Amino acid sequence: MAEQESLEFGKADFVLMDTVTMSEFMANLRLRFEKGRIYTFIGEVVVSMNPYKNLNIYGRDMIEQYKGRELYERPPHLFAIADAAYKAMKRRSKDTCIVISGESGAGKTEASKYIMQYIAAITNPGQRAEVERLLAICVHLNGMVSARSIFRESQNHSGPWVSVLGVIGMGLLSLEVSSKLYDSVSVVSPQSRVIVQQPGERSFHSFYQLLQGGSDQMLRSLHLQKDAAAYNYICPGAQLKCSINDGAEFKAVADAMKVIGFKQEEIQTVYKIVAAILHLGNLKFSVDGDTAVIENGKVVSIIAELLCTKAELVEKALLFRTVATGRDVIDKQHTEQEATYGRDAFAKAIYERLFCWIVTHINSVIEVKNYDTTVHGKNTVIGVLDIYGFEIFDNNSFEQFCINYCNEKLQQLFIQLVLKQEQEEYQREGIPWKHIDYFNNQVIVDLVEQQHKGIIAILDDACMNVGKVTDEMFLEALNNKLGKHAHFSSRKLCATDKTLEFDRDFRIKHYAGDVIYSVTGFIDKNKDTLFQDFKRLMYNSSNPVLKTMWPEGKLSITEVTKRPLTAAALFKNSMIALVDNLASKEPYYVRCIKPNDKKSPQLFEEERCRHQVEYLGLLENVRVRRAGFAYRQTYGKFLHRYKMISEFTWPNHDLPSDQEAVRKLIECHGFQHDVAYGKTKIFIRTPRTLFTLEELHAKMLVRIVLFLQKV
């Protein structure tokens, strides 16, 4: 139980609710938010409400209050969960992870920042330089992977990337940012944002930062002007009102790169690549017969200059595709549509390679060198996973499909691991385990990822077919193979459902609610083919940084290569790898909730919050966590708190063991039918018993104080 806050603030742990109902959960959530308590436990899970204001609860004094304390000893806080993960890692030499989830605008990125600050601070307070580098890394990556969404002004769109704090035996601190998952998901949601955005959204901050923050001399050298509306890829977001100061953010990112250890020429290469993407978007194609020609050749020369290659080679890669047929090599000229597709695929790929290079470079710079396990002990890590939340838009496409599949996988893992932790504790303590009813979303995960039968398999089959395959044909295949699935529907399968369009929409009944997806673009987005010509072009760049980003470009034209995996297959594989990775660690969770859409520090929108509680599965989490017992504590710590309420245990007991003393205390108050005795812990079934114990404790504390004052 968290440190006893007054009940005027509500219950600090949802597990202690009298009845597990949505109405009681929401009432407690609202009360705590309105009283300024933004954190609440569900056992070892922290529910975090975005306060939409600065709170003075993250300073050094607060860090000291949580450092080394048990989870229940202090009020709910991100620092409590961070310290618990750190102690588990140090005490048991076990890798741990903190999974932060919630929708856009719920405060995930801030939560991950505070958690990393805390871990960095308690690991080795003297390593201030490493802490500065850690925070600089967060700033730099945020500029590269965040964009203004319709929900908030800085949403992470990189997909799930993992920041790993390596906390090693002697208190050394290192940090690794894992790009493995990003390598796979980069072709899905994030890079589509390079070339197109939904209404009300901006592209990645890095583009606007360069235009607004770069000096006049720098912009001239990059052939850029400050007006974002001049660039086709980002002009839709140029007119949006945004409170972000792009000029100031540009300086922050530039300073961060220097702190991290980037060389000046490497920083210049980053700017050149970002500029080249902007110019690519302004390339115009027209038709000459059946083939494409470039209208504005000057832009080609600018792109070639920025990418350190020749203009004629850039033009050839844009207009032709080199095809090997046996020993013969031919140049197949593109149509206007093919040239446009190739240009956009190239722009997305350049940005993806840039991000992955930055991640790899950061890791090489900050890696702890010459680490000796015989001296420092086992190298254990805390993984901090900031995962994008469930998405339901007016128009949901391939990107939302992948994101929501990711959330299904993580929800499944979450429930499984919480159940597993409960079962393991019961087994350790010798307490009988009883079956718990909960919704198992395995059926939805299978709908998406099952071999040969799932949506991804059906989509890949469609993409592998020879000949013209349309999105409508893909939807027809879904109808034929999934028509009887309880969590799948379409207009053809349900002709009276006018919320679905014929030959366009299908619906998945997700654990978080129903989502209608439009198949438009599914085939092209899943293929997302980047022609080998562009890879060779970049590999032969005279810029060594660019060259290292495209190693496969060294393959000869006639060299046979395997067909690349589709975007969905890559994403599926990365999700399976992520789940396996997380399952091997001891998990801790932060569930973030957005109280309103107006960014008001006072407003609690009931339905808005209820929806998030439902799709985060929080009520399910409470049911599983209680598992018959709302509270458990070791005998020694239980006695330390409550021994003054029994004559048999105050001030000390003479019974054979602490367990016997606790048993005597419980029996003298008549609670014996509401508890179970484990090997090292007492388990209390209902919150009412615990609250009664707390009331007795509070009353006795007053009496003791009065007695001491008289003495």
**R_g over Cα of the chain:** 29
Burial of 199 (0-12, 13-18, 19+ CB in 10 A): exposed
Per DSSP bridges, beta strands 45-49 and 586-593 are parallel
Among 157, 48, 159, 121, residue whose Cα is nearest residue 570:
159
Residue 530 near residue 349, CB atoms below 8 Å = yes
Query: What kind and span of H or E run contains 137?
Result: helix 128-145
Q: Is 314 helix (H, G, I), strand (E, B) or coil?
A: helix
Cα 413 to Cα 390: distance, rounded to the nearest angstrom: 15
Residue 382 pairs in a beta bridge with: 96, 165
Residue 68, annotated as binding a ligand: no
- The conformation of residue 204, written as its DSSP 8-state character, comes to B
Residue indicated by tokens 């306060």: 51
What are the structure tokens assigned to 282, written together?
């302004």
Other Cβ atoms closer than 10 A to 87: 17
CA–CA separation, 668 and 665 (whole Å): 5
Quickly count: other Cβ atoms within 10 Å of residue 99's Cβ: 23
The string of DSSP letters for 35-100 reads: TT--EEEETTEEEEE--SS--S-SSHHHHHHHTT--GGGS-S-HHHHHHHHHHHHHHHT--EEEEE
- The H or E element containing residue 587 is strand 586-593
Any known ligand binding at 106? yes
Question: Whole-angstrom Cα distance, residue 344 to residue 194?
Answer: 9
Terminal-residue alpha carbon distance, the chain = 33
Residue 189 among known ligand-binding residues: no
Tell whether residue 263 is among the known ligand binding residues: no
297: enclosing H helix or E strand: helix 297-306
DSSP sequence for 338-402? HHHHHHHHHHHHHHHHHHHHHHHHHHHHHPPTT--HHHH--EEEEEEEEPPPP---SSB-HHHHH
Please indicate if the annotation marks 107 as binding a ligand: yes
Q: Are 547 and 541 in contact (CB under 8 A)?
A: yes
Long-range (24+ apart) CB contacts under 8 A made by 449-458 are 449/405, 449/572, 449/575, 449/576, 453/481, 455/401, 455/482, 456/568, 456/569, 456/572, 458/482
CA distance linking residue 624 with residue 439, whole number of Å: 11
Contact assessment for residue 198 and residue 150, using Cβ atoms and an 8 Å cutoff:
yes
Contacts of 248 by beta carbon, 8 Å cutoff, 6+ apart: 213
Q: For 86-189, list the strands marked E by DSSP.
A: 96-101, 146-147, 155-156, 161-168, 173-178
Dist CA 8 CA 26 (whole Å): 15
Residue 320 near residue 167 (C-beta atoms within 8 A): no
The token duo for 68 is 């080394």
Distance of CA 195 to the CA centre of its chain: 23
Closest by CA to 373, choosing from 168, 134, 135, 646, is 168
Binding residue positions: 102-109
Query: Which residues are annotated as part of the binding site for ATP?
Result: 102-109
